Chain A
Amino acid sequence: MTNSIDEIAGASLILAIGTNTTEAHPVISLRIRKALQRGAKLIVVDPRKTELAELATSHLQLKPGTDIALFNSMARYILGERIWNKEFVAERCEGLEGLRESLGEFTPEYAQTITGIPAALIKETARAYAQAERATILYTMGLTQHACGTDNVLAVANLALLCGQIGRESTGLNPLRGQNNVQGACDMGGLPNVLPGYQQVQDEGNRKIFSGAWGAALSDKPGLTLGEMMDSALQGTLKAMYITGENPILSDADSNHVQKALEKLDFLVVQDMFLTDTAKLADVVLPAASFAEKEGTFTNTERRVQRVRKAIEPIAGAKPDWQIICALAAELGYPMKYAGPKEIFEEITRLTPSYRGISYQRLEKEGIQWPCPSEEHPGTKYLHNQTFVRGKARLTPVNYMQPKELPDEKYPLMLNTGRRLQHYHTGTMTLRTEITQIYGSEKLDINPGMPKT
């Protein structure tokens, strides 16, 4: 998030795209309700009539996968009506002419034929967004989980930049992240192309710092993404995987593909609390402790680093993941010795500029939002106030393309996945709680107007 959760309540207009907030992020939805009580407008873009859509001032019920057509047409209308933020674009953006040229055909009327949203409503929404005092965009997987997910986000970013609706209090672009520490896993370099703090592995300077600190030579070749790993396993070039706290058999698209890939591996290690569907395929399973059994930190969706505190001793036989990883490193001839998570965190802050000023001692009182470059720095409430990371922001032309799979004669229905309030992700945890007494298994929602076949 470029803003903080608390700032949502201060927005004058909220554009919520593909986010079923009341179910997926219930506590954030309370801030949306607060904004509504204070008179904010809420515009929901979602193919489904969610609870949030029922609360909205207007609901843009687009056809699934047509987001780019909608946002491009809003941008074109804003340019045509000359209601974009000229000062902001001139000072802080580049690529306006390229964007303008790319939007040629995207009139709201044309977008209506693709999205199913009336052109008048598109125009009204564009005007309201462009002219709002403090507009905040919230989005989740409804925008990102598409073959064109990255372009969808760019189309939305173009809109925010064009209208200067970013870099101020309650004004910005806010992806609501789905998991307790998905932000932290990215921050810590759990990605194939970056080291902790998003420092590129291809940059020699970065590698030099880390190889010095870690006492090992580092590869300059970006690694495989999750999807590429599965493909490489099937092709036989990837031979072994070490999977921690993840259940790709259920969480990745195309379960059969993932299962075949994992079965093809010479060696699979899975570290988890339970014998998940993924763990069942493993050669070795290592029993991990739960969050209640260890110390550490999670980083939430608003970049806030917060403490995780040990409430109980690990369940007999299980070990905290950090201890297992260290023990495994020793077996690999690369000893990593730490007295505890605090010492690991201190190493992280030495190597990660955005975390540098954070310490367990400071976190004792309350969480701190990165970037926090020094011990005196209070943390950062919202980003891009004066400048963007790359200097000027780039307006990037994006083309609309149809969804990869559209209904046809053989498969006439479109299936959309989503999160239920009562359950979480692959259900490894929530399916083992009292929640199953009120919500025991997944349900399929079908439009009552759908012909029975």
Chain B
Amino acid sequence: MVEVVGWGSLPASCVTEAREGMVVYTESDQVTEARSTILELLLANHPDDCLTCDKAGRCSLQDFSYRYGIRKGPFLGERKAYPLDQENPFILRDMSKCILCGKCVRVCSEVVGRNVVDFSFRGFATKVATPLNCGLEEAGCVFCGSCVEVCPVGALSEKQMSGRGRSWQVNSVTTTCPYCGVGCQVNLQVKGNRVVGAKSAGTGINGKHLCIKGRFAYGFIHHPERLTRPLIKRNGQFEEVSWEEALHETGSRLREIKELHGSDALAVLASARITNEENYLLGKLARAALGTNNIDHCARL
């Protein structure tokens, strides 16, 4: 909210059109006093959970309370205590922390078009809820996570990242999603040598949005079935071997077949999953090293 000279009330800046000659103060005494009171009211009905809350360090309520020096104080009274909803594997819903800003309701309705949640009940009992308080999945949620992305407090968070690191311990690396061809920009959340989660990068074609795969499907990176040693099949069984041995075996067999049957007895399948640089090298390997144009990939299908 801001102060406009000559206006009786403090309008919300995001819904007020600028007009010719308008004089606007964004941090006047009147503005900061109003903001402080609102923060006191919000804090009165908020759990003191910053010590364990995963949102700490990237929470707007925390940031603004710090900025205006607000502590819990004058408006103590009844507090909401809703059970933690952790029934789906992706989105943790702690409605006791909700400040009823309505961003999740609007993004779900106006951008994603699914209307999974809305305000229910009235007055102090007002709550963002699914129809009949059912689980998100049952309510038709597609787990795009846009609501988590816009939630300013700890009401909605990524379950996968819960307890996996405070926000300031986690590095953010901007990269391109490895799934479909849209090329969404994601910020991988990295702690130590582990990818603990992902957020939208807020840039590129996707902005704040991703889909269930781009936001939540990174468990494969550290999956125990990842191959960690080259394998050579001997007598029908795979044996773990060194890189030197595997590469030497591959090179000598390919050379042997080339000498015996010619270059066109060899073929390479490139990949729609690996990088441009790697596909380029595969083309170079097929054409210059193996001597064949036998290279294709699944775009053919």
Q: Which residues of A contact B (CB under 8 A)?
A: 5-6, 24-28, 30, 33-34, 37, 55, 145, 176-193, 195-196, 201, 210-211, 214-219, 221-227, 229, 232, 237-246, 248, 251-253, 266-267, 269, 272-275, 282-288, 290-294, 296-302, 304-313, 315-322, 324-334, 336, 341, 344-345, 347-348, 366-367, 421-424, 428-430, 432-435, 437-438
Contacts and interface: CB of A to CB of B under 8 A. Distances in A.
A190 B176 contact: no
B58 interface: no
A420 B212 CA distance: 11
Interface stretch (B15-23, B29-37, B46-54, B280-288): B280-288
A237 B228 contact: no
Contacts of A30: 111-113, 209
A239 B253 CA distance: 11
Contact of B267 (A238, A252, A434): A238
A276 B301 CA distance: 19
22 contacts: A27-B209, A181-B275, A182-B272, A190-B283, A215-B288, A224-B294, A226-B296, A226-B300, A245-B272, A245-B273, A287-B229, A290-B178, A292-B175, A293-B221, A315-B228, A318-B226, A336-B285, A341-B275, A341-B277, A344-B281, A366-B204, A434-B90
B274 A244 contact: yes
Interface stretch (B70-78, B98-106, B119-127, B181-189): B181-189
Contact of A224 (B223, B267, B270, B290): B267
Contacts of B209: 27, 30
B189 to A, nearest CB: 9
Contacts of A302: 183, 205
B300 A306 contact: no
A291 B177 CA distance: 9
Interface of B: 88-90, 110-113, 137, 142-144, 160, 171, 173-185, 188, 190, 193-195, 203-206, 209-214, 216-223, 225-233, 238, 243, 246-255, 257, 260-261, 263-301
Given A223-B267, A296-B276, A321-B278, A27 B296 contact: no
A27 B285 contact: no
Given A309-B175, A312-B190, A327-B247, A225 B273 contact: no
A333 B248 CA distance: 11
B266 A195 contact: no
Nearest to B290: A332
Contacts of B137: 438
B283 A188 contact: yes
A308 B275 contact: yes
A313 B221 CA distance: 11
Contacts of A195: 283, 287
Contacts of A298: 176, 183, 275-276
A181 B267 contact: no
A181 B294 contact: no
A245 B181 CA distance: 16
B279 A190 contact: yes
Contacts of A225: 296, 300
Given A282-B233, A317-B228, A434 B182 contact: no
Nearest to A291: B178
A437 B89 contact: yes
A27 B32 CA distance: 39
Nearest to A424: B179
A418 to B, nearest CB: 13
A275 B225 CA distance: 8
B135 to A, nearest CB: 10
Nearest to A223: B293
Contacts of A190: 270-271, 279, 282-283, 295-297, 299
Best-buried of A178, A214, A252 by chain B (most CB within 10 Å): A178
B293 A179 contact: no
Contacts of A285: 227, 230-231, 238
A232 B277 CA distance: 29
Contacts of A245: 271-274
Contacts of A329: 281, 284-285, 289
Given A286-B247, A302-B183, A331-B247, 19 more contacts: A25-B182, A28-B182, A55-B113, A180-B272, A188-B276, A188-B283, A190-B270, A214-B284, A216-B291, A227-B300, A244-B271, A244-B278, A248-B298, A284-B249, A287-B229, A291-B176, A430-B213, A434-B160, A438-B137
Nearest to B251: A331
